[in-house]
A and B are shown apart, each in its own frame.
Chain A
Amino acid sequence: MANSKIINLRTPIVIASGPGGFGEYLNVNSIDWSYVGAYTLKTITLNPKAGNKPPRIYASDSFMINRIGLENPGFKGFKEMIENGELDILFSHVPAILSLGGDSFEEYVEITRLVRPYLDKFLAIEYNFSCPNVHHGGLSIMSDRDEWRRLLKEIRRETDAFIIAKLGIESGFIEQMAKIVALEGWDGVTVINTIRGLMVNPDGQVLLGGLSGPTLYPIALRAVYEVRRTLPDIFIIASGGIYKPYQVKEMLNFGANAVSIGSALFQNEEVINEIGRELVNNTNK
């Protein structure tokens, strides 16, 4: 279970996989990237995914639901993006974390092998085990505990990278899931992912998707608390409903090593500056 790897983030603020796309926020001129410790790319799968049929997203006052469906260009598209320099602006401003997903055991393993030549550009790999949007991936991998455990073992065997498992709360108590991750020699966990939800938009369309937004915050905070209580050494990225500087501090106080900003970017991407300034001021006092 013990491992010697460490990851040094220049700040504990991480852009979440999904909302940040493939670095599009670098095109917004108002963000001070020195406040950001790492930018997690949108999840890449072995084969391209067109994503779900619209509508894909809707928000209420306190939560939103998305059913993007892991739209991504697949490994080949990712390779082209890197080779064409499309991610260079991102790499030149902020350290990056790669996010990988898959529809099957074999796909997770294969993409782990395929990304090896590009890992010098990334601080870590986050594995998306809990995105509830894809019928044959995500939850189904974790729901067969033995298969998932074999997969964790296999991925660990395939890569020396700093590997982080992104965990949801719907496959059992999260601290138990995190314990399995740690026992298989992984370096970190991101807790939590979106939770399955349902809402109806003004056109009467039903959105079955992942719930995010402020509503998630106390659930994510409890998850961080439980995981840290169980695993004193594992690297934890806290994720879920973080919109305010005080929430970042709270997450760090309850044991997170970093905090992930996701849906809050949609309210105003300058939340990064707001949180960053507050953290810096706090550190300097």
Chain B
Amino acid sequence: MVNLSTESSSKKRYNVYYLTKKSVREITENTYLITFEENISFLPGQFCMIDVDGAGLTRKPFTLGKISHTELAISVKIAGKGSEYIVKTNEKLNVLAPLGNSFVPKSSNGTVIVAPSCLAEGIHLSEYFDIPLFVASKTELNEDIKHDFQINVALGNDGYLKLLKELNDSDFDWIFVSGSKIMEELAVKNMPKKVVYVSLNEYMACGIGACKGCAVETSPGIKHVCTDGPVFRGDEIWQIQR
């Protein structure tokens, strides 16, 4: 299963939305959950590109999420001026969406692990497929966030590796992982018994397949995160010994 989408990329239309922030909550240090007044139509796994009003030369990509099946949300880790603008501005955000393919697993017997920077996507997948949500974080999550979204936290490197070991021996058919490259690679290599899906976050410029900048090497050859992904099977990205 190379392409996880049921859609044809040639028929895609991308819309620009002007979104009003409803709430900005701190998930953990430097990382925020932003919800919006407006809604947009998208499917699990898809992402958006947000204009940073001159605080960078490219729109910045974020996985899309929904809370309680209704409230549009993204999570943002402040990593530079662009992401800082997105968190701090009170202006409407200019958002190009929905981008990429939807994630369509073969069964609903899976689970999802995200970094705090992908929490919105994690909450969405957890609610959409009615599956448990794990957050792997270097620092403790704020109590109200943990409580509100019934999050299981794997804290630090040891906590994360312990979680991966447990999930590798679990009955889940698949594990969806969205976070840093290192986090995703660890998941793929430490859960050889499972089908691991990873949502890749290669540097992007256009987000729509024009520039060919977000190339990744996969076992079938070069793919592009924005049009072939962003979700890939982990064993297409990293070799594992089963």
**Pair from one complex:** yes
Instruction: Report which of A27, A56, A60, A263 forms a contact with B215, defined as CB distance below 8 A.
Output: A56
B212 touches A58 (CB 8 A): no
A268 touches B216 (CB 8 A): no
B213 touches A68 (CB 8 A): yes
Give A269 to B81 CA distance when docked, in angstroms.
20
Is B222 interfacial (CB 8 A cutoff)? yes
Interface size on B, residues (CB 8 A): 33
The secondary-structure label for the interface of chain A is loop
| A54 and B215 contact, Cβ closer than 8 Å, known pairs A29-B13, A30-B16, A201-B203 | yes
Stretch of B49-57, B118-126, B188-196 on the interface side: B49-57
A51 touches B212 (CB 8 A): yes
Is B94 interfacial (CB 8 A cutoff)? yes
Is A185 interfacial (CB 8 A cutoff)? no
Instruction: Report which of B58, B96, B205, B213 forms a contact with A28, defined as CB distance below 8 A.
Output: B96
* A63 neighbours in B (Cβ, 8 Å): 57
A27 touches B51 (CB 8 A): no
Is B210 interfacial (CB 8 A cutoff)? yes
* A265 neighbours in B (Cβ, 8 Å): 206, 210
* A266 neighbours in B (Cβ, 8 Å): 57-59, 205-206, 211
| A21 and B209 contact, Cβ closer than 8 Å, known pairs A50-B221, A59-B56, A64-B57 | yes
* A22 neighbours in B (Cβ, 8 Å): 210
B13 touches A51 (CB 8 A): no
Instruction: Report which of B56, B211, B215 forms a contact with A21, defined as CB distance below 8 A.
Output: B211
Give A214 to B206 CA distance when docked, in angstroms.
17
Is B15 interfacial (CB 8 A cutoff)? yes
Interface size on A, residues (CB 8 A): 42
Of A51, A58, A203, A266, most B-chain CB atoms within 10 Å: A266
Give A244 to B132 CA distance when docked, in angstroms.
48
Q: Mark A145-176, 1 if CB is under 8 A from B, else 0.
A: 00000000000000000000000000000000
| A29 and B206 contact, Cβ closer than 8 Å, known pairs A18-B211, A266-B57 | no
Is A226 interfacial (CB 8 A cutoff)? no
Instruction: Report which of A21, A51, A57, A214 forms a contact with B203, defined as CB distance below 8 A.
Output: A57
Task: Give 17 A-B contacts (CB < 8 Å), ordered by A residue.
Answer: A18-B211, A29-B13, A50-B221, A51-B212, A54-B214, A56-B214, A57-B205, A57-B211, A59-B57, A60-B57, A61-B57, A68-B213, A71-B215, A263-B57, A265-B210, A268-B59, A270-B16
Question: 3 closest pairs, A vs B, by CB?
Answer: A21-B210, A57-B213, A24-B210
